[in-house]
Amino acid sequence: MDKYPTLNLPPVHLRAIRRRGSTYIWDGLRGSWLLLTPEEWVRRHVIGWLTGHLRLLPTSIVQEYPLAIGGTTQRADIVVLRPDMNATLLVECKAADVTINADVLNQAVRYNSIVRAPFIMLTNGMRHYFYSTEDCVTYTPLDTLPDIASLV
């Protein structure tokens, strides 16, 4: 895991194994081993931040949330659900070397047209961008994420 950069997120403890030259990490939420990729490195840290720093329950976090868009199945990286199963936050993760730009925002907005979360987060682990929406059409940039734990 030495080849992955230090992110602008709290460090996380990962359980890792090597198989056939690749590193796999344990995902306690899904109960399975996942190939460690640059994007997965960021996702693990975001989930650690959501559960550790923001104190969200792991059961409120869905990874690779399936979405039917234009006849294809796509997946939102992370969706945080309230007890009523409505989304409160959609997170789009990119690898640390991927620039967060308008294309990434457009991808998250497209996903959120289905998810309908009032907040979205875009991150490459280095830079984080937060937005709020009331209608899933107009998005307002935020300096920080509001207290999501109080909404879940």
Domain ranges for the chain: 16-145
Q: Is the dihedral of CA 43, 49, 45, 102 positive or negative?
A: positive
Give the model confidence (pLDDT) of 32-91 as tens digits.
999 999 999 999 999 999 999 999 999 999 999 999 988 899 999 999 999 999 999 999
pLDDT of residue 94: 98
Give the model confidence (pLDDT) of 113-133 as tens digits.
999 999 999 999 999 999 999
Cβ atoms of 64 and 40 within 8 Å: the answer is no
> Burial level of 70, CB count in 10 A (0-12/13-18/19+)?
exposed
1 pLDDT exceeds 70?
A: no
CATH topology of domain 16-145: tt1808, chain A (3.90.1570)
